[in-house]
Structure 1
Amino acid sequence: MAIATGCNRLSFIKPDYTRSDFRRTAPELDVVTDDRSKGAANARTAVQQGQLAYTRGDLAGARKAAVEALERSPEFAAAHTLRALVADAEGEVEVAGDHYRRAVELAPQDGGALNNYGTWLCANGREQESLQWFDRALADRGYRTPAAAMANAGACAVRAGQGGLAVKYLDAALGLEPRNPVALAAMAEHEFRAGRAFHARAFSQRRLAAAPADARSLLLASQIEEKLGDKDAAARYVQRLRAEFPDTSGSGAGENGKR
């Protein structure tokens, strides 16, 4: 938590409660307020408390703090972002979207809020629409984690079928953060879709070395090895997928994730 003269900048990294792919994450809460009223001060305190609860995994406590902050200061963008993050983690998709959207309405030039909303759009089948919000996030010169928005934009461009654009975003993200797991996973997926399985394998291996595996990365790794004809390697990834993510549908090898 950094306190600056004349404003409060509230930042934290969202924990990955679902252990799913990037589309369920909103990496940063980073919004500014100059409101010095008593209500705003109380709201800031509530958001700080909610941040601590959230990072501990206490979603109920974080939700309570976000609601309190919104009651104190309904136009405090950080409170909307915190409420959105909690709703996202709890699977309340529309509630999350409403609060992410309200945060960018209140803080239209804040990179963290813009990235969060773009991530939510991409997670909910609006990949093409999400790209403009990542571009807006990158236009914020004070945005401290631009590689996050670049990686998310690239991954969404892959899903939108815009391979050329995806590579531009992903190359830029990896230029800043060579071990960015979102960018590495998206490059692996792009290369696999393009029929370049050897290149896909290299990015997949880098992704799995960069951060703990999620279900999507293990499934893609099994599909890549299946395509390359290494049945044993594909089977090992499938075993990991079934052991680490037993509730994942299609936890097998092959194009559709099924054996």
Structure 2
Amino acid sequence: MLPPERGIVVRGPVGGLLLGLVVMVAMAGCNRLSFIKPDYTRSDFRRTAPELDVVTDDRSKSTVKARTAVQQGQLAYTKGDLDGARKAAVDALKSNPDFAAAHTLRALVADADGEVEVAGDHYRRAIELAPHDGGTLNNYGTWLCANGREQESLQWFDRALADRGYRTPAAAMANAGACAVKAGQGGLAVKYLDAALAIDPQNPVALAAMAEHEFRAGRAFHARAFSQRRLAAAPADARSLLLASQIEEKLGDKDAADGYVQRLRAEFPDISGSGAGENGKR
């Protein structure tokens, strides 16, 4: 069972909380989190890198073995070696089934394998074991949002932001903003996304979400600005190119729209129905 929820942030005064975090992150000297290389090619939900915290005060033999296995698995995952990462996760869990990072690694591999429910089970177990760790909470929130539970995900990002030792709050802010856009909560989304971009102006998740929000709101010129910043900040994903083509179509620039469609077809040939229209067709 999950422990009682502590530190949940009430979203009413979210602006004040996020402003405080902007100041706090500039002062932070903590380096306890390690990160897996982000995958910007996912088109279902664009998120910042999943986070693994392998630091622990437990020096028992079983935990040391589990931590070493997770570190090896993290390296394998970063290189695209899912078999190696999977084996490392299994080894880590055998060594210490109560090591949160081992469950996170197993969840990442399951996600990559398309085992959605297996991933969810391990993300949930990780937060049972590390209920106040920002990175672990952020990971679970992104899994919820990626699987159609946008509204439910928001409380978990708030819990991540309540972790005063969380080194990269812009990650949770950006993900929360993107999920709020998906949930149709534009006002809340802008608060999160503005705060994320104040810390990290090149955050691709926040920029993409702002572009989508502005486009949905009928502000195509503003959407174009955020879309261009998104494409300059990180390698394009299919959704960002599709949105860019839709924006240009809306603004009447057919040549620019066609250019993005051509990029989409060239860079993501397996995406069916590539195009600039609302349904992905021209």
C-alpha contact 1:23 1:120 (8 A) present in aligned 2: no
- The aligned counterpart of 2:258 is 235
Task: Note the aligned Cα RMSD (angstroms).
Answer: 1.7
Aligned 8 A contact 2:45 2:145 in 1:
no
Query: Paired residue for 1:61, among 76, 79, 84?
Result: 84
1:118 corresponds to: 141
Unaligned runs of 5+ in 1: 1-7
Deviation per residue, 1:93-132 (Å, 9 max, x gap): 1111111111011000000100000000000000000000
CA–CA separation in structure 1 for the residues paired with 2:131 and 2:235: 33
Candidates 206, 211, 219, aligned match of 1:183: 206
Tell me, yes or no, if the aligned pair for 1:158 and 1:190 is still in contact at 8 Å: yes
Counterpart check, 1:76 vs 2:99 = yes
Higher relative contact order (CA 8 A, sep 6+): 2
For 1:101, the equivalent position in structure 2 comes to: 124
1-structure distance, mates of 2:118, 2:208: 28
1:130 to 122, 146, 153: 153
Moved more, 168-177 or 249-258: 249-258
AA in 2 matched with 1:29 = L
Structure 1 contact 17–89 (Cα < 8 Å) conserved: no
Alignment check: 8 A CA contact 1:83 1:96 kept: yes
Given the two structures, how large is their TM-score scaled by the length of structure 2? 0.85
Q: Distance in 2 between matches of 1:13 and 1:52?
A: 8
Q: 2 CA distance for matches of 1:230 and 1:216?
A: 19
CA distance in structure 2 between the partners assigned to 1:131 and 1:173 by the alignment: 15
Return the TM-score normalized by structure 1. 0.93
Judging changes above 3 Å, is the alpha-carbon distance between structure 1 residues 221 and 18 closer, same or farther for their aligned structure 2 residues?
closer
1:207 is matched with which residue? 230
The residue correspondences of 1:1-259 to structure 2 (distance < 5 A) are 9=32, 11-16=34-39, 18-20=41-43, 22-23=45-46, 26-30=49-53, 32-259=55-282
More strand, by proportion: 1
Q: Structure 1's 223 and 248: CA in aligned 2 closer, same or farther, altered over 3 A?
A: same
- Amino acid paired to 1:143: Y
Contact 1:154 1:186 in 2 (8 A): yes
The structural deviation recorded for 1:33 is 3.1
CA shift for structure 1 position 9 = 4.7
For residues 151 and 188 of structure 1, the distance between their equivalents in structure 2, rounded to whole angstroms, comes to 13
Q: CA deviation at 1:152?
A: 0.3
